[in-house]
Structure 1
Amino acid sequence: MFAKIWDAHVTATTAAGADLVAIDRVFLHERTGASALKSMAASGRPVIDPARVFAVMDHIVDTRPGRGDQTLMQGGQGFITETRAAALAAGITLFDVTDADQGITHVVSPELGIVLPGCTLVAPDSHTCTQGALGALAWGIGSSEAEHAMATGVLRLMRPKTMRVTFTGTLPKGVTAKDMALTLLARHGAGGGAGHAVEFAGPAVEALDIEARMTLCNMATEFAAMAGFVAPDAKTYAYLAGRRYAPAAFDAPYWADLKTDDGAVFDAEIVIDASEIRPMVTWGTSPEHAVPVGAAVPQGPQRAHDYIGLEPGATMAGTPIDVAFIGSCTNARLSDLRRAADILRGRHIAPSIKTALVVPGSMAVKRAAEGEGLDKVFEAAGFEWRMSGCSLCFFAGGESFPAGSRTISSTNRNFEGRQGPGIRTHIASPEVVAASAVMGAITDPRDLMAEAAQ
């Protein structure tokens, strides 16, 4: 499948062996969008096809109700106003701060049908690979590469190797795509996919809904992969039907052939039995530092143990937490919020929890959740209900958690200081976050599911 997309987009090959790959979509955000567009304007280079370029305010905007251009980040308002001016001058589509379609790039693009099966899409954000869940080749780039793509319609790239990660069997109840990704990282390391484009396949992947596939592909960048993707199927085309930028029908031969042929050979293969996967949580400062919730902390880099404050042999379950966070491009879609709300319904967060937040992945997700009354479930449980954005997934919006907090988070990275100076982040599924918030300590959500079933 990778070869079919790549080869269909190669316009030329250089003497050094690099390919010039046609880029179908470019997505910008306010953290780097203004610099790319202003640099192009200063050099006299227009956007070659403005209809293929989109921008959104997501990285620096506040998520507090009633937010506008002003942010808690020092100088943040300038990023927003400059990106707005540059986007309007370039004639590209902008989803502004107060736009009904505002949201996180990798949530907005799929829900509007901007990303399509078989297309190439780039954005100055490492989690652009999320959109490979729709059968696209999507990857993160730098702002200078964004300039090149917007000015020329192509990027110069060396062809990556290919890898297939096959999940056999069936996921147990209460186990999610996030747990699949963390299991892959725990077993094969944060560098396991380096230099590869990774196709996720197998019956357990096929059984996932599209939003769960996005979660799996989102974590491909934590695996160091160039891109992660899933072959499109009937679920994919049903998901895209009727969306604003999607075609009326997917009946062209190109779409029908978007799958890996039987007998295709990959440079690397990994097979994981999904039935063995359990709810996962990270213990250290890399996404590969992950174990089942009920397991003990293994021996790892001493710096990771020192930062996270957990020694080898400590049991993850029962580790007290201070903050619960549900959000990010990994796990803040409507299905994520529904599953977390199911655990919280009729329950309340523990008195020891200092802060509990829900940040929907887009304003469309927020409206849909409110239409189902999920916001009321979260608020009744003690969570704060926010506007959409990337803020608090990473420390860039000027807002942080209380100093020294131990956080259970549905985000994708647990690096030192990722959610603020000295904040210790444990990443997990929305179910684990919700269950842990109720108990005040890291908890296997199946314990609460079983209790509710009685």
Structure 2
Amino acid sequence: MSRGTLFDKVWDLHTVSTLPSGQTQLFIGLHLIHEVTSPQAFAMIRERKLPVLFPNRTVATVDHIVPTDNQARPLADSLAEEMLQALEKNCQDYNIRFYGIGSGNQGIVHVIAPEQGLTQPGMTIACGDSHTSTHGAFGAIAFGIGTSQVRDVLASQTLALAKLKVRKIEVNGSLRPGVYAKDVILHIIRKLGVKGGVGYAYEFAGSTFAQMTMEERMTVCNMAIEGGARCGYVNPDQVTFDYLQGRDQAPKGEAWEQAVAWWQSLASDPDAVYDDGVVFDAAEIPPTVTWGITPGQGIGVNEPIPEPKYLPDSEKALAQEAYTYMQLEPGQPIQGTKVDVCFIGSCTNGRISDLREAAKIAQGRQVAPGIKAFVVPGSERVKEAAEAEGLDQIFTAAGFEWREPGCSMCLAMNPDKLQGSQISASSSNRNFKGRQGSASGRTLLMSPAMVVAAAVTGQVTDVRELLN
């Protein structure tokens, strides 16, 4: 029975049946695949001699393993080339749309689907990648899934899932200068914890999200998963419709008017029933930086690294592990922490608006001596748009490397890796141990503007000091 939330409405509309386990068999409207989690899934359906049930509902690209410096084929890494060839063959064999390098449409899977209008309100979306929650920015219900579930969607276009509870997270008011969507989600995760969302879908609501652009909403929904939520979404509104109108895969003409009317009906009702609710004040959110080894270990840039005596007992052991691994002292300020590498990109912050904000800080400044700084557009389209605006020239003049599209130094399944215990200022979404390619590498998560501030000063810096 629908309780009037968008989550409930979309879930009910896509329910095929209730399984003996009590789980819902849920129809998946759009299946996004890439080269890392799909090869085994295709092997499994081949073994069973199963077709891909709805190839027109599956879209593929290559992102995790692609190098961002030189993308000439064959790729220099033979394993990466093998994975790319396997994806090309699987897409050919099963008649699946594939956006390869040089197609003009290749990029990070969670960047290309929205920019082409593939992601639409009211959809169920699945991808073998944890940050599929990104697509919830459109009022879609989007799940990251495992390899065996990729197989299930290829073969049946459905998933077996337990229905989630819904928590409404309201943020109201205007963000202060130097505070971005990335700070909002890092702040929410800091306050609710990395396990706070387990068993929930997060509905992001309130005037702060209403004021955000679609790309800012994508940044927030992207990291819902880091707060433990299975998905996060924003109700579709005029901002959503304006973003989608005219995009390649968006409805056209009369179909567009019908689509908008339907999308509007899906938004959570004013009297919708939620399982839980939390309210935040946008004015209280500072530029936020992680200091530890989970996205929940974050602080305002002007705060000291927390001391154990101020932490709940349940967090003390993890904090101790983080102090040791990160080589940081409790009580020391995070501001002034020296960095080695500065990375702007990823499915969290590799879109055109991210690059524009970063370029504003980079303009007329220079990367500090000894700092490796690089910018990786989220897609071929983002790269083209940035170059048309001259953003690449601002970055290169400042001493940043300007790269080709890909996941790059987020998961580091490509040549972009930290070396030894280098410390990185990163606009990506995870700061787990070894996440950026070195077993002892250290990651500080922050907004793209904060990454530039770190690059030009050589240390963690409050970006507000650099705003004109």
Do the structures match in fold with TM over 0.5?
yes
- For residues 431-454 of structure 1, what are the alpha-carbon distances to aligned partners after superposition, in whole Å with 9 as ceiling and x for unaligned? 1001111111101111000xx3xx
| Counterpart for residue 270 of structure 1 | 278
TM-score w.r.t. the length of structure 2 is: 0.94
Task: Say whether residues 1:11 and 2:28 are aligned partners.
Answer: no
How far apart are residue 39 of structure 1 and its match?
Answer: 2.0
Alignment partner for residue 176 of structure 2, among 165, 172, 180? 172
Task: Say whether residues 1:426 and 2:444 are aligned partners.
Answer: yes
Q: Distance in 1 between matches of 2:390 and 2:20?
A: 59
Q: Distance in 2 between matches of 1:99 and 1:223?
A: 35
Query: Secondary structure at the residue paired with 2:90?
Result: helix
Alignment partner for residue 286 of structure 1, among 276, 287, 294? 294
How far apart are residue 66 of structure 1 and its match?
Answer: 4.1
Matches within 5 A, 1:218-257: 218-248=222-252, 249-252=256-259, 253-257=261-265
Contact 2:237-2:264 at 8 Å conserved across structures: no
Q: Distance in 2 between matches of 1:322 and 1:78?
A: 32
Q: Do the aligned partners of residues 242 and 189 (structure 1) sit closer, same or farther apart at CA in structure 2, a change above 3 Å counting?
A: same
How large is the Cα RMSD of the aligned pairs? Answer: 1.2
Unaligned runs of 5+ in 2: 1-5, 308-315
Alignment partner for residue 400 of structure 1, among 417, 433, 438? 417
Alignment partner for residue 30 of structure 1, among 19, 35, 52? 35
How far apart are residue 391 of structure 1 and its match?
Answer: 2.2
Contact 1:122-1:140 at 8 Å conserved across structures: yes
Task: Say whether residues 1:343 and 2:361 are aligned partners.
Answer: yes
| Counterpart for residue 107 of structure 2 | 103
Contact 2:117-2:249 at 8 Å conserved across structures: yes
Matches within 5 A, 1:57-136: 57-72=62-77, 75-136=79-140
Q: Distance in 1 between matches of 2:293 and 2:83?
A: 29
Alignment partner for residue 382 of structure 1, among 372, 385, 399? 399
* Runs of 4+ that moved beyond 4 A: none
Q: Do the aligned partners of residues 190 and 8 (structure 1) sit closer, same or farther apart at CA in structure 2, a change above 3 Å counting?
A: same
| Counterpart for residue 466 of structure 2 | 448
Q: Distance in 1 between matches of 2:73 and 2:104?
A: 13
- For residues 265-302 of structure 1, what are the alpha-carbon distances to aligned partners after superposition, in whole Å with 9 as ceiling and x for unaligned? 21111111111001000001000010011110003521
Amino acid paired to 1:373:
G
Query: Which one is further off, 414-423 or 336-345?
Result: 414-423
Task: Say whether residues 1:157 and 2:161 are aligned partners.
Answer: yes
| Counterpart for residue 304 of structure 1 | 322
How far apart are residue 328 of structure 1 and its match?
Answer: 0.3
Query: Which one is further off, 150-159 or 177-186?
Result: 150-159
Q: Do the aligned partners of residues 89 and 328 (structure 1) sit closer, same or farther apart at CA in structure 2, a change above 3 Å counting?
A: same
Query: Secondary structure at the residue paired with 1:329?
Result: helix
| Counterpart for residue 295 of structure 1 | 303
Task: Say whether residues 1:259 and 2:274 are aligned partners.
Answer: no
Alignment partner for residue 412 of structure 1, among 416, 426, 429? 429
Q: Distance in 2 between matches of 1:65 and 1:428?
A: 27
Q: Distance in 1 between matches of 2:179 and 2:72?
A: 35
Identical residues among aligned pairs (%): 43
- For residues 26-79 of structure 1, what are the alpha-carbon distances to aligned partners after superposition, in whole Å with 9 as ceiling and x for unaligned? 11100122221232122111011111001111011111144434144x622111
Q: Distance in 2 between matches of 1:139 and 1:156?
A: 12
Contact 2:236-2:264 at 8 Å conserved across structures: no
- For residues 380-406 of structure 1, what are the alpha-carbon distances to aligned partners after superposition, in whole Å with 9 as ceiling and x for unaligned? 111000001112111211431332211
Q: Distance in 1 between matches of 2:81 and 2:207?
A: 46
Q: Distance in 1 between matches of 2:86 and 2:352?
A: 31
Q: Distance in 2 between matches of 1:370 and 1:183?
A: 32
| Counterpart for residue 435 of structure 1 | 453
Amino acid paired to 2:269:
D
Contact 1:68-1:98 at 8 Å conserved across structures: no
- For residues 109-158 of structure 1, what are the alpha-carbon distances to aligned partners after superposition, in whole Å with 9 as ceiling and x for unaligned? 00011111000010000000001101111110012111111211211111
Contact 2:345-2:428 at 8 Å conserved across structures: yes
Task: Say whether residues 1:364 and 2:368 are aligned partners.
Answer: no
Q: Distance in 2 between matches of 1:27 and 1:125?
A: 9
Query: Secondary structure at the residue paired with 1:393?
Result: coil
Q: Distance in 2 between matches of 1:39 and 1:56?
A: 20
How far apart are residue 305 of structure 1 and its match?
Answer: 0.5
How far apart are residue 423 of structure 1 and its match?
Answer: 1.1
Contact 1:61-1:69 at 8 Å conserved across structures: no
Task: Say whether residues 1:45 and 2:50 are aligned partners.
Answer: yes
Q: Distance in 1 between matches of 2:73 and 2:386?
A: 22
Contact 1:326-1:332 at 8 Å conserved across structures: yes
How far apart are residue 242 of structure 1 and its match?
Answer: 1.1
Amino acid paired to 1:140:
G
Count residues with an aligned counterpart: 448
| Counterpart for residue 211 of structure 1 | 215
Q: Distance in 2 between matches of 1:222 and 1:367?
A: 30
Q: Distance in 2 between matches of 1:243 and 1:110?
A: 9
Contact 1:71-1:398 at 8 Å conserved across structures: no
- For residues 3-39 of structure 1, what are the alpha-carbon distances to aligned partners after superposition, in whole Å with 9 as ceiling and x for unaligned? 0100111111123321111110111100122221232
How far apart are residue 168 of structure 1 and its match?
Answer: 1.3
| Counterpart for residue 318 of structure 1 | 336
Query: Which one is further off, 8-17 or 96-105?
Result: 8-17
Task: Say whether residues 1:198 and 2:198 are aligned partners.
Answer: no
